[in-house]
A and B are shown apart, each in its own frame.
Chain A
Amino acid sequence: MKKPKIDKTPARLDFIQSATGLILALFIMGHLLFEASILISNEMMYKVTLMFEGYYFFGERYPGIISFLAAAISAIFILHAAVAMRKMPSKYREYRIMRKHTASLHHEDSSLWMIQVLTGFAMFFLGSVHLYGMMAQPDQIGPFLSSVRVVDGHMAPLYLLLLFSVVSHAFIGMYRLALKWGFMEGKNSKKSRKIHKFLMRGFILVYLVIGSFSLAKYIEIGMTHDFSDGETYHSQTIQMESEQ
């Protein structure tokens, strides 16, 4: 029997959507932890920044790396958004049906999906702004520079919204990812789903706490620190050649 060739696109798109989502989610898990280094000390945050700038590998700072990273993430971000857009209610009518459906069904997982759609939609704007900033000014990162941006650059409200969006979106997404593909399902899928959901809730909570504290710290620094001798942070332990 000769069979006509199958159309591979739907499989690929679904895979891309999940893969990009997963990469972004893992990225964010790391990102927010690195960001939280500010909670340990300014010095720590500074070291992390240096690390990303390749200082520990090349002995020199290349903010371009960050630019490159941001560009790469942006690409994934855009790809993910573009692919995931297929799933967003495309017409207002669809959105209304879905709203009505979730409201009358009182069904948690359907509501979670609604949250994902709304947060995705929000990030479309919030995330883009942030990413653009990171691409354009990769050298403007550090305990002080960042704090200045957060406070004087009026980024704090945006970050707060972005934080809530991205954390819920990412972990709901990971939960959905696990169930969608049957990761670590085990013998009893009802039980493993419960575990997945528990983990999802836990991660959201932990990350919201960490993120909020870091943001608070940036704000605190931005509001209280005396930037009269420049906005760049001067490390006590690491001496840059250029600064000498």
Chain B
Amino acid sequence: MKIIYTDVLIIGGGLAGLRVATGVKERGHDAVILTLVPPKRSHSAAAQGGMQASLANCAMGEGDDEDVHFADTIKGSDWGADQEVARMFTHCAPKAIRELAAWGVPWSRVDRGDHTAIINAKKVTITERDEAHGLITARDFGGTKKWRTCYTSDGTGHSMLYAMDNKAHDDKVEIHERMEAIALLHENGRCYGAIARNLMDGELVAYVSKATTIATGGYGRIYEVSTNAIICQGMGQAIALETGIATLGNMEAIQFHPTAIVPVGILTTEGCRGDGGLLLDKDGYRFMPDYEPDKKELASRDVVSRRMTEHIRKGKGVKSHYGDHLWLDITILGREHIEKNLREVKEICENFLGIDPAEEWIPVRPTQHYSMGGIRTTYRGESQTLKGLYSCGEAACWDMHGFNRLGGNSVSETVVSGMLVAEYIADFCDTPESSVNIHSSTIEKFLKIEEEKIEALLTVENGEDAYVLRRAMEKIMMEKVGIFRNGKDLQEAVDELEALYKRSKNIEVFRSKSRAANPALVNAYRTQRMLKVALTVAYGALLRTESRGAHAREDYPERDDANWLKRTITSWPDKEQTMPTVTYEEIPIGKMELPPGFRGYGKDMTLHNTESKVRQETVAAIRKKLEEGGASRFEIQNALMPFKHKLPSKYQNRNERLNEPLGEEHE
């Protein structure tokens, strides 16, 4: 029996996991990272477009600050987000990006003087300020008031991940590659680490730790076509679920990205539209202004995806072998711009489509892209129900995205939440409470259970084929739990998934019986777990009889604040049950800084909560009074919804901007 002890075990070597590791390490705690692949190959590398942080350096970002970023984020979330968390996030995003700048990310910079940009299909000249020269610049992204998305060409995630991983090397973080966490170790409501399987030689290892963090990213691969990497299979959520104690939040909140290429589903960044690219239909007609005259192509992702789907349903899609699609036209940006700022997009078009995007249109359609749901945590990133278990990044439902996340807010979340959660974990590890009190017999028991599961997969006879089950699941999710949802389809999806789940208990690994590196074995046990995750998504979607953010019910097109201003909480308390248990967590309006209102797309279909109006008035009154008294925006914010006390003290200070120098703080 191999046991490895450490202070903090981090499952996942993406941006979030790495940031937690360096954070706790700098506080003097040992950290071990487990990851399926070398950290630099994590899915975070795929983020192209950028990271949101309200630096307000570039001309089109002038006037930006935490308040604007906060409002965008909450509106984007369709009021599903936790507003305190969103505040903590927007406050720390500039710090996180500056930290990354110091660690080596070559952020694209402001270049003083004139440059041209394409806005609303027209060439515009923008003049950058002299004093901003050399500071980090930003581009336009959907759902934002200001240009706030900082980037390095279109390899933002790549540069960030490389800088983070290199930093982890520098900090001597231990990284165990190709180690897959397959179960969490826990006893008496407290998590003590995980059982992991070495994907190269099959050995099972117990990692015992004071604190355990799940940063395993999203679960997009339960869908047939997804922009996600193929390792985004929701294993983090699944092993949390399998403790029977930890809970998942808002699993049904799945984002579809408007522009993934057809058929392979590889993403072309939102930056394409941010930089001025257009969506066209089969007639070459630009249709978005008809639906969203205001924001057009740059409406929030969920909105654009639905409008595209609607338009395709009207018969305006381009027919192809692989179903209907629309066009993304970036030829108007010019070759020079594409070769400099949209290089990855160009490479993808050349390699996977055989076209030159500077000359030809790109075939696109909305595709599964992001998981807003995940392991439900407190603002400290700790599971609400299983002590010692933490989670952050896409894996978590920390909940700053609510039912729709803004482009660029996700990589930003990974590093911000990583940096905060690392502090909270370190605080926890500094207390005596954190000492490890698990019996070695318990560890042995957990190891044995996992061993037996694997043994069973290899020895069952006349069992099910995991590939068949998995493909069936992917298809159901795709067809019945997609962009537009309805009660009938969702019910069918839930029933069929449950049937598949039952069958999955009898999976047999055919032919390939090796206990060492064995892809068939891996697929078998992951399929079992993916089915659980898929069920939480489909079931949550079935029960939520409203439309909010990315969750769009054709049979309930209104956002229903009266009944549904709450988070879906899923758990799996009994191993034998074949459906998840669903409960709800209220989102209290009384404390909101930004009470629910109209999001500003289409016509207002909201069924308002009476409390919203009350809170709106309270907020307006406080604001008015303080403004008259000459209070600063910080004082007003603090009066509406204080949050700074929740932050680690070293991150409580204000952020400097060109128009907000740090000196003022002491006035």
Q: Do A and B come into direct contact in the complex, CB within 8 Å?
A: no
Which residues of A line the B interface, CB within 8 A?
none
- Report which B residues bind A (CB closer than 8 A): none
